[in-house]
Amino acid sequence: MGGDIFEKVDSRTDPDWIVKEFFNSIYFQGRFLWALPLILERKGCGVNEDYCFFPDDSDPSPEYHFSGVKVGLMDSEKLLTEEDLSKFLHEACDKYVLLHPEDKSQLEGIMEEASLRGHSIRSDKGPEVVKEPSFRLTTSGPFFGDMVLTVVAQKRFSYTCYRDEHDAFILSVLCGRAGMYELNIPLSVEDAQRAQADGEFLDDLAESVRANPQDYSTRSIALKR
Protein backbone atom coordinates (compact mmCIF):
# COMPACT_ATOMS: atom_id res chain seq x y z
CA MET A 1 0.00 0.00 0.00
CA GLY A 2 1.52 3.29 -1.06
CA GLY A 3 1.32 6.50 0.91
CA ASP A 4 -0.27 7.34 4.24
CA ILE A 5 -3.83 8.22 5.13
CA PHE A 6 -2.47 11.16 7.12
CA GLU A 7 0.98 12.25 5.96
CA LYS A 8 3.89 13.69 7.94
CA VAL A 9 2.39 13.14 11.38
CA ASP A 10 4.65 14.52 14.12
CA SER A 11 3.95 13.23 17.63
CA ARG A 12 5.97 16.09 19.11
CA THR A 13 3.96 18.95 17.63
CA ASP A 14 0.61 17.55 16.46
CA PRO A 15 -1.98 17.25 19.27
CA ASP A 16 -4.05 14.91 17.07
CA TRP A 17 -1.22 12.55 16.15
CA ILE A 18 -2.77 9.58 17.99
CA VAL A 19 -5.98 9.73 15.95
CA LYS A 20 -4.11 10.20 12.68
CA GLU A 21 -1.69 7.36 13.38
CA PHE A 22 -4.60 5.12 14.36
CA PHE A 23 -6.05 5.49 10.87
CA ASN A 24 -2.58 5.09 9.33
CA SER A 25 -2.04 1.92 11.33
CA ILE A 26 -5.31 0.17 10.48
CA TYR A 27 -4.73 1.13 6.85
CA PHE A 28 -1.26 -0.41 6.73
CA GLN A 29 -2.57 -3.54 8.44
CA GLY A 30 -5.15 -3.89 5.69
CA ARG A 31 -8.10 -3.40 8.04
CA PHE A 32 -9.45 0.02 7.03
CA LEU A 33 -12.64 -1.18 5.31
CA TRP A 34 -13.14 -3.77 8.04
CA ALA A 35 -12.91 -1.13 10.79
CA LEU A 36 -15.04 1.49 9.03
CA PRO A 37 -18.51 -0.01 9.73
CA LEU A 38 -17.54 -0.86 13.32
CA ILE A 39 -16.66 2.78 13.95
CA LEU A 40 -19.73 4.09 12.13
CA GLU A 41 -21.99 1.77 14.14
CA ARG A 42 -20.29 2.74 17.43
CA LYS A 43 -19.29 -0.85 18.16
CA GLY A 44 -15.62 0.04 18.36
CA CYS A 45 -12.71 -1.95 17.01
CA GLY A 46 -9.25 -3.10 17.92
CA VAL A 47 -6.35 -4.22 15.74
CA ASN A 48 -3.46 -5.55 17.80
CA GLU A 49 -2.50 -2.61 20.08
CA ASP A 50 -4.60 0.00 18.25
CA TYR A 51 -8.19 0.66 19.26
CA CYS A 52 -11.20 2.93 19.00
CA PHE A 53 -14.04 2.41 21.43
CA PHE A 54 -17.19 4.11 22.61
CA PRO A 55 -18.79 4.49 26.05
CA ASP A 56 -21.17 1.91 27.47
CA ASP A 57 -22.82 2.89 30.75
CA SER A 58 -24.34 -0.58 31.07
CA ASP A 59 -20.89 -2.17 31.25
CA PRO A 60 -19.77 -2.94 34.83
CA SER A 61 -16.23 -1.78 34.09
CA PRO A 62 -15.64 1.94 34.81
CA GLU A 63 -13.27 1.93 31.84
CA TYR A 64 -16.35 2.18 29.60
CA HIS A 65 -17.97 5.05 31.55
CA PHE A 66 -16.93 8.24 29.80
CA SER A 67 -18.15 10.81 27.30
CA GLY A 68 -16.83 10.92 23.75
CA VAL A 69 -14.61 8.40 21.97
CA LYS A 70 -11.29 6.89 23.02
CA VAL A 71 -8.65 6.25 20.38
CA GLY A 72 -5.38 4.63 21.35
CA LEU A 73 -2.05 3.29 20.15
CA MET A 74 -0.37 0.96 22.63
CA ASP A 75 0.18 3.14 25.75
CA SER A 76 -0.97 6.42 24.16
CA GLU A 77 -4.63 7.42 24.19
CA LYS A 78 -6.73 10.42 23.18
CA LEU A 79 -10.29 11.25 24.23
CA LEU A 80 -12.20 13.22 21.63
CA THR A 81 -15.78 14.10 20.74
CA GLU A 82 -17.78 12.17 18.16
CA GLU A 83 -17.86 15.31 16.04
CA ASP A 84 -14.06 15.44 15.99
CA LEU A 85 -13.81 11.74 15.21
CA SER A 86 -16.30 12.21 12.37
CA LYS A 87 -14.05 14.91 10.89
CA PHE A 88 -11.00 12.64 10.94
CA LEU A 89 -13.01 9.69 9.65
CA HIS A 90 -14.30 11.63 6.63
CA GLU A 91 -10.80 12.91 5.87
CA ALA A 92 -9.47 9.36 6.13
CA CYS A 93 -12.17 8.05 3.80
CA ASP A 94 -11.46 10.76 1.23
CA LYS A 95 -7.74 9.89 1.25
CA TYR A 96 -8.46 6.16 1.12
CA VAL A 97 -10.48 6.63 -2.06
CA LEU A 98 -7.62 8.60 -3.59
CA LEU A 99 -5.25 5.75 -2.77
CA HIS A 100 -7.71 3.03 -3.80
CA PRO A 101 -10.24 4.34 -6.34
CA GLU A 102 -11.18 0.73 -7.09
CA ASP A 103 -12.74 0.52 -3.60
CA LYS A 104 -14.83 3.69 -3.90
CA SER A 105 -18.14 1.87 -4.45
CA GLN A 106 -17.50 -0.48 -1.53
CA LEU A 107 -16.63 2.37 0.82
CA GLU A 108 -19.65 4.40 -0.23
CA GLY A 109 -21.83 1.33 0.28
CA ILE A 110 -20.56 0.93 3.85
CA MET A 111 -21.28 4.59 4.60
CA GLU A 112 -24.75 4.41 3.05
CA GLU A 113 -25.69 1.21 4.85
CA ALA A 114 -24.66 2.65 8.21
CA SER A 115 -26.72 5.77 7.52
CA LEU A 116 -29.80 3.78 6.50
CA ARG A 117 -29.59 1.70 9.68
CA GLY A 118 -29.42 4.84 11.78
CA HIS A 119 -25.93 3.84 12.89
CA SER A 120 -23.70 6.81 12.37
CA ILE A 121 -21.35 8.74 14.59
CA ARG A 122 -22.39 12.32 15.07
CA SER A 123 -21.17 14.80 12.53
CA ASP A 124 -21.47 18.55 12.18
CA LYS A 125 -22.58 17.82 8.60
CA GLY A 126 -25.95 16.50 9.68
CA PRO A 127 -28.40 15.97 12.55
CA GLU A 128 -27.49 14.04 15.64
CA VAL A 129 -28.53 10.40 15.48
CA VAL A 130 -29.86 8.65 18.57
CA LYS A 131 -27.25 6.21 19.80
CA GLU A 132 -28.17 2.56 20.09
CA PRO A 133 -26.61 0.43 22.85
CA SER A 134 -22.96 -0.29 22.13
CA PHE A 135 -21.19 -3.54 22.74
CA ARG A 136 -17.80 -4.75 23.81
CA LEU A 137 -15.19 -5.28 21.14
CA THR A 138 -16.05 -8.11 18.78
CA THR A 139 -13.17 -8.10 16.36
CA SER A 140 -11.02 -10.47 14.37
CA GLY A 141 -7.92 -11.35 16.32
CA PRO A 142 -4.89 -13.58 15.75
CA PHE A 143 -4.80 -17.13 14.41
CA PHE A 144 -4.55 -20.46 16.19
CA GLY A 145 -3.49 -22.90 13.52
CA ASP A 146 -5.66 -22.00 10.54
CA MET A 147 -8.52 -20.63 12.63
CA VAL A 148 -9.20 -16.92 13.02
CA LEU A 149 -9.87 -16.05 16.65
CA THR A 150 -12.53 -13.53 17.67
CA VAL A 151 -12.12 -11.09 20.55
CA VAL A 152 -15.03 -11.53 22.97
CA ALA A 153 -13.70 -9.70 26.05
CA GLN A 154 -10.79 -7.40 26.64
CA LYS A 155 -9.21 -5.38 29.42
CA ARG A 156 -6.51 -3.11 28.09
CA PHE A 157 -2.96 -3.83 29.24
CA SER A 158 -4.24 -6.89 31.10
CA TYR A 159 -5.87 -9.62 29.01
CA THR A 160 -7.84 -10.52 25.90
CA CYS A 161 -10.26 -13.43 25.69
CA TYR A 162 -10.65 -15.07 22.28
CA ARG A 163 -13.18 -17.54 20.90
CA ASP A 164 -12.25 -19.93 18.12
CA GLU A 165 -14.45 -21.36 15.38
CA HIS A 166 -15.47 -24.29 17.60
CA ASP A 167 -16.60 -22.03 20.48
CA ALA A 168 -13.54 -22.84 22.58
CA PHE A 169 -11.99 -19.94 24.49
CA ILE A 170 -8.40 -18.78 24.97
CA LEU A 171 -7.34 -16.22 27.59
CA SER A 172 -4.27 -14.22 26.55
CA VAL A 173 -2.68 -12.54 29.57
CA LEU A 174 -0.01 -9.84 29.47
CA CYS A 175 2.75 -10.78 31.93
CA GLY A 176 6.11 -9.46 33.04
CA ARG A 177 7.42 -6.08 34.06
CA ALA A 178 10.55 -4.96 32.22
CA GLY A 179 10.16 -7.61 29.52
CA MET A 180 6.50 -8.03 28.60
CA TYR A 181 5.18 -11.30 27.18
CA GLU A 182 1.87 -13.11 26.77
CA LEU A 183 0.63 -16.42 28.10
CA ASN A 184 -2.23 -17.83 26.02
CA ILE A 185 -4.25 -20.19 28.20
CA PRO A 186 -7.02 -22.37 26.72
CA LEU A 187 -10.03 -22.28 29.03
CA SER A 188 -11.74 -25.45 30.13
CA VAL A 189 -15.47 -25.81 29.52
CA GLU A 190 -16.02 -25.17 33.22
CA ASP A 191 -13.89 -22.01 33.17
CA ALA A 192 -15.71 -20.72 30.08
CA GLN A 193 -19.06 -21.26 31.78
CA ARG A 194 -17.86 -19.48 34.91
CA ALA A 195 -16.57 -16.57 32.82
CA GLN A 196 -19.97 -16.16 31.19
CA ALA A 197 -21.76 -16.32 34.55
CA ASP A 198 -19.36 -14.19 36.59
CA GLY A 199 -18.20 -10.86 35.19
CA GLU A 200 -15.12 -10.82 37.46
CA PHE A 201 -13.91 -14.34 36.75
CA LEU A 202 -11.60 -13.37 33.87
CA ASP A 203 -10.15 -10.50 35.91
CA ASP A 204 -9.36 -12.88 38.77
CA LEU A 205 -7.94 -15.56 36.49
CA ALA A 206 -5.75 -13.06 34.66
CA GLU A 207 -4.38 -11.80 37.98
CA SER A 208 -3.61 -15.38 39.00
CA VAL A 209 -1.76 -16.01 35.72
CA ARG A 210 0.19 -12.77 36.07
CA ALA A 211 1.13 -13.45 39.70
CA ASN A 212 2.11 -17.10 39.08
CA PRO A 213 3.16 -17.43 35.42
CA GLN A 214 5.24 -20.51 36.19
CA ASP A 215 2.05 -22.39 37.10
CA TYR A 216 0.51 -21.69 33.68
CA SER A 217 3.45 -21.62 31.28
CA THR A 218 3.14 -25.29 30.34
CA ARG A 219 -0.50 -24.73 29.35
CA SER A 220 0.28 -21.73 27.16
CA ILE A 221 -0.14 -22.11 23.40
CA ALA A 222 1.33 -20.11 20.52
CA LEU A 223 -0.89 -17.70 18.59
CA LYS A 224 0.02 -16.47 15.12
CA ARG A 225 -0.58 -12.77 14.48
The total number of structural domains that make up the chain: 2
DSSP characters over 126-178:
SPPPPPPPP-----EEEEETTEEEEEEEEETTTEEEEE-TTS-EEEEEEE-SS
pLDDT of residue 157: 67
**49 and 100 housed in the same domain:** yes
pLDDT of residue 186: 93
Give the model confidence (pLDDT) of 24-54 as tens digits: 999 988 889 989 988 998 888 888 788 998 8
d(CA 70, CA 55): 8
- Could you tell me if residue 212 is inside a domain? yes
DSSP characters over 25-94:
HHHHTT-HHHHHHHHHTT--EEETTEEEE---TTSSSGGG--SSEEEEETTEEEEE-HHHHHHHHHHHHH
Contact 12, 83 (CB under 8 A): no
Answer whether residue 215 shows pLDDT above 90: yes
pTM attached to this predicted model? 0.55
Place 123 in a pLDDT band, splitting at 50, 70 and 90: very low
Place 130 in a pLDDT band, splitting at 50, 70 and 90: very low
What residues make up the domain containing 95? 17-116
- Could you tell me if residue 12 is inside a domain? no
- Could you tell me if residue 121 is inside a domain? no
- Could you tell me if residue 186 is inside a domain? yes
**165 and 210 housed in the same domain:** yes
**109 and 23 housed in the same domain:** yes
Give the model confidence (pLDDT) of 68-82 as tens digits: 999 998 789 999 999
Mean pLDDT of the region 182-187: 91
**111 and 21 housed in the same domain:** yes
pLDDT of residue 206: 92
Tell which of 84, 116, 148 closes a domain.
Answer: 116
Q: Among 57-61, 194-198, 219-223, whose mean pLDDT is lowest?
A: 57-61
